[in-house]
Amino acid sequence: MINILILPGDGIGPEITKQVIKIIKSCIFLGLKCKLIYNYIGGISIEKFNIPISDKLLKICNYVDTIFLGCVGGYKWKNCYLKPEEGLLDIRKKLNFFLNIRPIKCPYKNIDFLILRELIGGIYFSKPKGLSKQIINSIPTWYSYNTEVYNEQEIIRIARIGFNLAKTRKQKLCSIDKSNVLDTSKLWRKVVTYIHKFYNEVKLSHLYIDFATIELIKKYNNFDIIITSNLFGDILSDHCSLLTGSLGTLPSISINNKSLSLFEPAHGSAPDIAGLNIANPIGSLLSIVLMLEFVFNCIKLSNKLYYSIYKVLSYGFCTIDMKNIIKNSKIISTNEFGDLVNHFLLLND
């Protein structure tokens, strides 16, 4: 029996997670052996326990087999001392989810590449960081600073996973950095180039992040495996939603060194549309496609869910964010989208 921890989070999190639960329950009906456990993270956890992630939740994470997380954050906590996003950074850091894989895939456009983002290092976590006051030009002035630190070991483990994955796919890997300016990127490029010596069958290329943003949109077919730092991976994967049609369509999987996995859509809590039942649940549902494959090893069910999602789109049904992407689109709600996917999943064919 596999235990799945469900953390809906904030904003559109509960709406998209509702669709995920619907689908998992149908998978159980179809024979999947799992148990759902529910808890809180982010703003909702601040409201309930005065902390974005509780110790109890971290303990629960240690005995479950896998986690689905909606998203965290929102206007409500803008001026709050405690930030919902700290819950997200903490679950990643404390459970050592060092790698985040974001598939950029779209069957009807023939797009299929993976962004491997380092997840617990770099500028999001390194110290020193802070906010301070200083006299500048005789004026008391606020200033703030963050630091980016990467060590060789952190880069090696991402590079090795990247090269190993490349061997199972199209044998090419592109490493994205800013080594014309940043010292951390210089080390990143040097280490990746060194590790490549052990993977001669894989073709290695390097791109600077600024040019990569253009190449990824114009020549996406040239890419297969991309490895990059925490900050660049965060921005690049959102940017690549231009290819798939909406930020709401991208799934992700994070892994740690104890084979625990965390599945989440790539988008945030979208407070501007929260509660309206219009959020796109595709990124979340595709995260379950990945979970079925990598945690449950249920390839057949995973494929069936994948095709059920795209079948809904092929009939022209989509949430409002994809209205200009899908031909002859018929706009439906988050709930209706989940119901239609569920319908196709349960159809005998």
Name the residues that contact ligand NAD, by CB under 6 A.
12, 71-74, 85, 88, 246-248, 264, 267-273, 279-280, 321
Torsional class of 36: left (φ above 0), alpha (ψ -120 to 50), beta (otherwise): beta
Contact predicate 261/2, CB 8 Å: no
Residue 238 annotated among the catalytic residues of the structure: yes
Closest distance of CB 284 from ligand NAD, Å: 8
| Catalytic residue chosen out of the listed positions 65, 112, 238, 339 | 238
Closest distance of CB 53 from ligand NAD, Å: 12
Instruction: List the 34-38 sheet strands across, edge first.
Output: 34-38, 2-9, 66-71, 261-265, 251-255, 99-106, 111-118, 225-228, 172-177, 203-208
Integer Cα distance of 192 and 257 in angstroms: 20
- Looking at the Cβ atoms of 85 and 112, the one nearer to ligand NAD is 85
- Looking at the Cβ atoms of 16 and 174, the one nearer to ligand NAD is 16
Closest distance of CB 285 from ligand NAD, Å: 11
Mutual angle of helices 282-294 and 334-346, in 10-degree steps: 40
Residue 112 annotated among the catalytic residues of the structure: no
Contact predicate 60/35, CB 8 Å: no
- Looking at the Cβ atoms of 114 and 270, the one nearer to ligand NAD is 270
Integer Cα distance of 285 and 216 in angstroms: 24
Closest distance of CB 262 from ligand NAD, Å: 10
| Catalytic residue chosen out of the listed positions 56, 190, 194, 210 | 210
Query: What residues pair up with 317 in beta bridges, in sequence order?
Result: 330
Phi/psi of residue 146, each to 5°?
-130, 160
Residue 190 annotated among the catalytic residues of the structure: no
| Catalytic residue chosen out of the listed positions 105, 178, 220, 224 | 178
- Looking at the Cβ atoms of 189 and 267, the one nearer to ligand NAD is 267
- Looking at the Cβ atoms of 177 and 264, the one nearer to ligand NAD is 264
Residue 178 annotated among the catalytic residues of the structure: yes
Torsion sign, CA atoms 228, 234, 240, 244: positive
Q: Helix, strand, or coil here: 205? A: strand
- Looking at the Cβ atoms of 224 and 264, the one nearer to ligand NAD is 264
Closest distance of CB 11 from ligand NAD, Å: 6
| Catalytic residue chosen out of the listed positions 105, 234, 306, 321 | 234
Using CA atoms, how far residue 343 sits from 285, 318, 328, 336, 340, in Å, is 14, 15, 21, 10, 5
| Catalytic residue chosen out of the listed positions 10, 40, 124, 220 | 124
Integer Cα distance of 306 and 299 in angstroms: 10
Contact predicate 262/253, CB 8 Å: yes
Closest distance of CB 138 from ligand NAD, Å: 36
Q: So which residues are the catalytic ones? A: 124, 178, 210, 234, 238
